[in-house]
Amino acid sequence: MVLGTTSGAGKSWLTTALCRWYANQGLKVAPFKAQNMSNNARVVAGQGDDTWGEIGSAQYFQALAARADPDVRMNPLLLKPEADTHSQVVLMGRVSRELSDTPWRERSLKVWPQIAAALDELRADNDVVVIEGAGSPAEINLYDSDIVNMRVARHANAACLLVSDIDRGGAFAHLYGTWALLPEVDRQLIKGFVLNKFRGDASLLAPAPQMLQDLTGIPTVATIPMQWHHGLPEEDGVFDDAPTLGANAPALQFARSHSSGTVRLTVAVVAYPRISNLDEFQPLKNVPGLRLVWARTPADLVGADWVVLPGSKSTVADLAWLRQQGLDAAVCAHASAGGAVLGICGGLQMLGEAIVDPLGVESTHPLGGDAPGLGLLPLVTAFGAHKAVRRTRTRFGDLAGPWAPLSGVAVSGYEIHLGNTAQHPAMAAKGDVAQVVLPSGLGWQGGQGGRGNVLGLYVHGLFEDPAVLQALFGHQAPGLDTVFDGLATAVAQHFAPGWLQQWGPQPLAQGMGVMGGKRV
């Protein structure tokens, strides 16, 4: 289990690296995080009669790193913030209105049985389960209702790593303080300290690691250098303009040599407060000659070739924020000048003429309820009680303008949205309709003067599809396997010799293998 002294210590990417490292030893591996709080979610295999469900994106990528099929057991509880004091609760892949309305301190008793059962099933089905904690395990105000850190560690009798971000300073104090606040039964599960994001000569840390071991009895088993460009999407926040590719990935040199530092296309993604699924834009970071900008003001759109309105966990509230910032006028001006505009999911809903909320889905929030859209597409969206959660494979029809290269391209992605979007009836009666570019109400195109520069889609994951990248940019971003292998190699070489082998099953001997999940 990977625990952290703070949020942002590096738990998620270290868990991902360990999933790939153990998988590379010939073992059957699965990730697990009991509870995640994130608006970045993926559609994965559900349970029972549910074909699809949601889990946090970090566990989705960890499953891919483990070479496992992602499923809802890997993140049984997902909290998706809709406001500062309210989250949508997703249990075993499905939204639970009851739990969403339950005070958060009272949820633990209700959800722990499902969490424990999911973990037990994964342990029974795999050689190794790599568990990720959340925040800090020593938050004394949360300890009694903990369902994601030490309660999970005790249930699994997990060998725990405690990770600290040494780049922030105070790492040894963080490690010692976390250890000191834990009760003795939990201290016994901590098997090693990890110093993460170190810059400099590791020998200069002496004698602090030995002094810490003298105080706690726990060795520092790894000092991991700063991984500036590890290549994984950021889980909890937007990323900057720097290219991000695994430092050990051969494709990094390819991208740099072919871009020659020249920016040929600038893509501005509007970063509203409740942005969701921002991780789907990570592949754009690795396209040579493409600069990705996160826009929060009209000035951030100056010089952009494309403007993207991404998904939102609170569409009407984020649309109101857009107007407060003056970004609504800036986006419309960009479109009027012929600039390309792409709306995905909530962004698509914003592009239309209106959003209506007859059931009050968002009206409980201060800025919720009905709202006029940006008017860039003659569409109207009606929120309903049913949430669409499914994997999607479809094919573009004929497109015009900057999106013409997508014509006829088959695309794989996923849908996570409330609401259905359709042609605006009154506008359609006058002949003002958007061009349907994807079937089943998944995509439309429009723009003043028939330019086709405005595109709205319900399909997430567009830029993760190699065929789309090839069509739009004539280039495919390096695959995730390259990133995962680079992480596993980079991390493992900084652990004490034999430490990782000590806490996992022994690698399969020659002549052995895995069949149907069983060692044979």
Do 167 and 257 lie in one domain? The reply is no
Task: Provide the 10 A C-beta neighbour count for residue 202.
Answer: 13
Q: In 328-399, where do the E strands start and end? A: 340-344, 354-356, 371-372, 379-395
Q: Which amino acid type is present at position 312?
A: S
- Rounded to whole angstroms, the Cα distance separating 356 from 96 reads 23
Element (H, E) at 492: helix 480-492
Encoding tokens for residue 101?
Answer: 């309305």
Q: How confident is the model at residue 171 (pLDDT cuts 50, 70, 90)?
A: very high
**Per-residue pLDDT at 117 exceeds 80:** yes
- Rounded to whole angstroms, the Cα distance separating 180 from 314 reads 40
Q: What's the pLDDT score for residue 242? A: 41
pTM of the model: 0.84
Do 468 and 486 lie in one domain? The reply is no
Element (H, E) at 291: strand 290-295
Alpha helices in 53-104 (DSSP H): 57-65, 97-100
CA 55 to chain centre: 9
Average pLDDT across the chain, whole number: 88
Q: How confident is the model at residue 244 (pLDDT cuts 50, 70, 90)?
A: very low
Do 333 and 260 lie in one domain? The reply is yes
Residue 64 within any structural domain of the chain: no
Do 202 and 261 lie in one domain? The reply is no
Do 467 and 487 lie in one domain? The reply is no
Element (H, E) at 416: strand 410-423
CATH number at residue 155: 3.40.50.300
What does the pLDDT look like over 259-297, one tens digit per residue? 346 899 999 999 999 999 988 998 898 888 999 999 999
Q: Do 459 and 411 touch, CB atoms closer than 8 A?
A: yes
Do 220 and 261 lie in one domain? The reply is no
Q: Do 281 and 463 touch, CB atoms closer than 8 A?
A: yes
Beta bridge partners of 383: none
Residue 177 within any structural domain of the chain: yes
Residue 266 structural domain: 250-473
Do 446 and 507 lie in one domain? The reply is no
Q: Which amino acid type is present at position 514?
A: V
What DSSP designation does 223 have?
A: E
Listed residue (501, 499, 496) closest to 202, CA to CA? 496
Calculate Rg over the CA atoms of the chain: 24
Residue 429 within any structural domain of the chain: yes
Residue 93 within any structural domain of the chain: no
Q: How confident is the model at residue 97 (pLDDT cuts 50, 70, 90)?
A: confident
**Per-residue pLDDT at 187 exceeds 80:** yes
More confident residue, 240 or 59: 59
- Rounded to whole angstroms, the Cα distance separating 129 from 110 reads 24
Geometric angle at alpha carbon 241, from 236 and 242, rounded to 5°: 100
- Rounded to whole angstroms, the Cα distance separating 82 from 80 reads 6
**Per-residue pLDDT at 157 exceeds 50:** yes
Q: How confident is the model at residue 509 (pLDDT cuts 50, 70, 90)?
A: very low
What DSSP designation does 520 have?
A: -
CATH number at residue 309: 3.40.50.880
User: Is the sign of the CA dihedral 54, 283, 66, 32 positive or negative?
Assistant: negative
Residue 58 within any structural domain of the chain: no
Q: How confident is the model at residue 515 (pLDDT cuts 50, 70, 90)?
A: very low
Q: Which residues are known catalytic residues?
A: 345, 460
Number of domains in the chain: 2
Do 177 and 121 lie in one domain? The reply is yes
3-class secondary structure, 333: helix
What does the pLDDT look like over 317-337, one tens digit per residue? 999 999 999 999 999 999 999
3-class secondary structure, 505: coil
What does the pLDDT look like over 369-399, one tens digit per residue? 688 999 999 999 999 888 899 999 999 999 9
Do 452 and 317 lie in one domain? The reply is yes
Listed residue (145, 78, 92, 80) closest to 121, CA to CA? 92
Q: What's the pLDDT score for residue 477? A: 67
Encoding tokens for residue 463?
Answer: 């830029």
Residue 430 within any structural domain of the chain: yes
CA 456 to chain centre: 21
CA distance between the termini of the chain:
27
- Rounded to whole angstroms, the Cα distance separating 499 from 207 reads 21
Task: Provide the 10 A C-beta neighbour count for residue 508.
Answer: 16
Average pLDDT over every residue of 295-300: 96
Task: Provide the 10 A C-beta neighbour count for residue 323.
Answer: 13
Q: Which amino acid type is present at position 182?
A: L
Q: What's the pLDDT score for residue 368? A: 52
CA 445 to chain centre: 27
Task: Provide the 10 A C-beta neighbour count for residue 11.
Answer: 27
Q: How confident is the model at residue 87 (pLDDT cuts 50, 70, 90)?
A: confident
Listed residue (455, 254, 501) closest to 348, CA to CA? 455
Do 426 and 302 lie in one domain? The reply is yes
Do 218 and 268 lie in one domain? The reply is no
Residue 374 within any structural domain of the chain: yes
**Per-residue pLDDT at 27 exceeds 80:** yes
Do 208 and 260 lie in one domain? The reply is no
Q: What's the pLDDT score for residue 247? A: 35
- Rounded to whole angstroms, the Cα distance separating 299 from 203 reads 46
Q: Do 193 and 221 touch, CB atoms closer than 8 A?
A: yes
Task: HSE, CB side, 13 Å, CA atoms: give it for residue 155.
Answer: 20
Average pLDDT over every residue of 414-420: 91
Residue 238 within any structural domain of the chain: no
Q: Do 68 and 25 touch, CB atoms closer than 8 A?
A: no
- The percent of residues in the chain predicted with pLDDT above 90, rounded, is 69
